[in-house]
Structure 1
Amino acid sequence: MTQAPPPEDYESLIRLIHDRHDSMSKTYQQIAVYLTQNPNDVAVRSVNAIAQSCDIHASSFVRFAQSLGYDGFKSLQVLFQQRLATAAPGFEARVHALKQELKSRDDLSEAELLRDMVVSDAASVQSLLDEIDANDLAQAAEILSDAETVFLLGQLRSAPVVELIRYLLTMVGKKCIMLDPSGGLATHVSRTMGTKDVLLAVSFRFYANEVVSIVEEVAAQGRTIIALTDSSLSPLAKSAQVLFAAHEHAGPLSRSVTAPICLAQTIALAVASRIQNNPNVPEIPSVTCPRQ
C-alpha cells in the first residue's frame, strides 16, 4: 500500500499529528507535544539541540518525521520555518537578538533577570496574537455570559489564573464556584453542575491528575467545558468545546503564567462586554475599601 504524501503546510502537519497522537508511542507523543508547543524553536534550532531539550535522541526525531512521510527531519522543519517567516518576523527577530545578547553576558544581576523575564514573557504574549482564534474568543465569551454558573478548576501553577478569573467574573456579576482541592471535595462539587452551567478548566504541563479526571467526568455528563492549557495535545483538549492553547517560551522562570493571565483577562473583558451590552468600553469594577 502506497503511503500518502506528507503534509505540505504547517496547519496540515499539525492536523496529522493530532489525528495520529493517540496511536503514537510514548516517545513519539513527547516529540509531538514539543513540536506543537515550541514551533518557533523547531524552526530555528538544529535537530540535535531540539533533541537535547527533550532528552530524546536526535535519531528519534528523524524517525518521527519519516513516520509522517518525510525523508528526514529537515523536510519537516521547513514547514515550521515557513510559518515563522510569516508570523510577526520583525518581533521574533528582536526577541532572538535580545536573547542572544543576554546569553553573552556574565552579569547575573537582578536587572538582567528582569530584562530576561520581560523578553521571554513578551514573546509568549505576542504569540497569543497568532495562536488564539478570534472566533474561539467570541464563542467562549458567549458561553460564559449565558451560563447560569461558571465552575472554575485549576491547581498548582494554574491556581493563580483561575483565582484571577473568579475575581474578574464575580465583579461583573457572574456567579462562580471554585472547585477548590482543599477538603477533597472538588470532584464531588463538580457533580452538582447543572445543564446550564459551564466548567472553565485551566491546566498546564505537568497536568494535575485531579483536574484531568474532573474534566473527563464532567465531559461524560455532557456539560460544556472551556479549557485554557498549553498544547492542543493536552489531556483537556478532547473534552473541551472551546480550547485555548497558550504556548510557552523558554525563559528564566520555567513555565511563566504571564500569557495565560493575559488571555484570562481578555476572556473576562469579553464576557463583561456582553453582560454590560457595551462592546466598545467594557468595564470590570474594582473592590474599593471605605475610608476609616
Structure 2
Amino acid sequence: MRCLIGNARSTGAGKRARGMNDPIDYASLVERLKERRTSLSPRLQDVAQFVLNNPEDVAILTIVEIARAAKVPPSAITRFTQELGLERFSELQAIFRSRLVGPRLAYVDRLRGISERAAEGEGPIDLSDPQEVLGIFASSAYVSLMNVVEDQRAAPLADFVEALRAANAVHVCGGRGAFGVAAYTFYGLAAVGKRAFLMDNLGSMRMQQVQAVAPDDLVLAISFDDYTPETLQTAEAAVAAGRNVIAITDNELSPLVPLARHALFVKEARLGHFRSQVPAMVLCQAIIASVGRSGGRSIGRS
C-alpha cells in the first residue's frame, strides 16, 4: 500500500484526483489552504501562516531566505509547495509575484534590498539616521496599504459595514498590539453616533463584559498573528452565548475566522520586530466613516 501511494504521487495521479493540476492563482491558493488547514502538520501550518502574512517576502526572496524568516528549514517550504499540488518552489513564487504590479513592485524591491543588507550583516536600518528610518517604515506601510485595498475587493466589506450599522451596539475587543486599533475603533464609532463599548478586560472582568452583550448587539474582535489569547477567549465566549461576532484579522487561517459571521483581512506592515498599525487603522477609519454615513451622520474632523 505504501508503494502504491508513492507511485500515485510520483505520476501525478494523486494530484489529478484532488483536482490539483488545474491552473492556480492566489485566490485559488488561499482556498486550497483553507480546505487543507486541518490536514497540515503544525510546521506546515506555520509556513501557511507566514506566506499569507508576508506575501511580498514570498514573491521576492529565495527559498533559503523565506525559510530563515519563517524559522523553518528549507525542506519545509518544499513540502509546503508540494502539499499545494505544485512541483517547484518557483511555481509558488510566481503566484505571489503575479500580485505585485506597478509601483508596488518598486517598493517591494526596495524592501528586498533592506533584507539583503541584513543578511550580509550590515543591519536593516541605520537607527542613527531618523530620515532613513522614516523612509523605510513609510515604504513598508505603503506596500501594506495597497494590499489592504486589494484584499478588500474580494472581502465582504459592504456586509461588514451593514452588520455594524444594523447592530444595536458594538462591543470592540482587541488586546496587546491590536489594542490601539480597537481603542480607536471604539472612539471612532462613538464619534459618529454608534453605541459602542470597549471590552478592555478591566479588573479581569472579561466574562462580565461578554455577559453585557445583548442579543441584537455585535462583538467586533480584532487580532493579528500572534493571536492574543484573551481576544480569542472573548470571541469564543460570545459565540457560546449565542452572540454574533465579526472580526478584523490577518488571514483566512486565523482562529477568529471560524467564529465570525464576517471577517476582513489586514496584513500588517512589518520591519524586523516592528509592526505598523497604519493598514489596520486606515481600514477601520474607512469602516467608521461608512457606518457614520449610512447612519445619516456627517463625518467631520476628529
- Bin the TM-score by the shorter chain: 0.7 to 0.9
Residues 201-244 of structure 1 deviation map (CA, whole Å, 9 limit, x = unaligned): 11112111111011122123332222111222111111111111
What is the Cα-based RMSD across aligned positions, in Å? 2.2
- Cα distance in 2 for residues equivalent to 1:237 and 1:196: 20
Q: Which moved more, 1:134-143 or 1:229-238?
A: 134-143
Asked if 1:201 is matched to 2:221, the reply is: yes
Structure 1 residue aligned with 2:143: 123
Residues 50-94 of structure 1 deviation map (CA, whole Å, 9 limit, x = unaligned): 00101100011111211222223222222222233xxx4323214
Structure 2 residue aligned with 1:41: 57
Gapped runs of 5+ residues in structure 2? 1-7
Aligned positions of 1:241-280 closer than 5 A: 241-251=261-271, 254-276=274-296
- Cα distance in 1 for residues equivalent to 2:182 and 2:197: 11
- Cα distance in 1 for residues equivalent to 2:36 and 2:107: 35
Q: Which moved more, 1:100-109 or 1:231-240?
A: 100-109
Structure 2 residue aligned with 1:289: none
Asked if 1:170 is matched to 2:180, the reply is: no
Per the normalisation by structure 1, the TM-score is 0.88
Cα displacement (A) at 1:106: 5.8
- Cα distance in 2 for residues equivalent to 1:268 and 1:120: 24
Q: Which moved more, 1:117-126 or 1:218-227?
A: 218-227
Cα displacement (A) at 1:116: 1.2
- Choose which of 30, 35, 54 in structure 1 pairs with 2:70: 54
- Choose which of 95, 102, 107 in structure 2 pairs with 1:89: 102
Asked if 1:160 is matched to 2:180, the reply is: yes
**How many pairs align?**
279
Amino acid across the alignment from 1:76: L
Cα displacement (A) at 1:284: 4.1
Per the normalisation by structure 2, the TM-score is 0.85
Q: Pick closer, same or farther for the CA change 1:116–1:253 going to 2, 3 Å.
A: farther
- Cα distance in 2 for residues equivalent to 1:265 and 1:69: 39
Asked if 1:190 is matched to 2:201, the reply is: no
Gapped runs of 5+ residues in structure 1? 287-292
Asked if 1:212 is matched to 2:212, the reply is: no
In structure 2, the residue corresponding to 1:190 is in which secondary structure?
helix
Asked if 1:145 is matched to 2:168, the reply is: no
Residues 106-140 of structure 1 deviation map (CA, whole Å, 9 limit, x = unaligned): 68411111111111111111211111137622111
Structure 2 residue aligned with 1:290: none
In structure 2, the residue corresponding to 1:205 is in which secondary structure?
coil
- Cα distance in 1 for residues equivalent to 2:261 and 2:254: 14
Cα displacement (A) at 1:47: 0.6
Q: Which moved more, 1:66-75 or 1:211-220?
A: 66-75
Cα displacement (A) at 1:163: 0.9
Cα displacement (A) at 1:185: 0.7
In structure 2, the residue corresponding to 1:173 is in which secondary structure?
coil
Amino acid across the alignment from 2:76: S
Identity of aligned residues (%): 29
Cα displacement (A) at 1:154: 0.6
- Cα distance in 2 for residues equivalent to 1:119 and 1:135: 25
Amino acid across the alignment from 2:104: F
**Higher RCO (Cα < 8 Å, 6 or more apart):** 1
Q: Pick closer, same or farther for the CA change 1:152–1:246 going to 2, 3 Å.
A: same
In structure 1, the residue corresponding to 2:275 is in which secondary structure?
coil
- Cα distance in 2 for residues equivalent to 1:253 and 1:92: 23
Amino acid across the alignment from 1:216: E
Residues 230-277 of structure 1 deviation map (CA, whole Å, 9 limit, x = unaligned): 222111111111111111233266221111011111110010110117
Amino acid across the alignment from 1:16: R
CA contact (8 A) 1:150 1:177 kept: yes
Amino acid across the alignment from 1:211: T
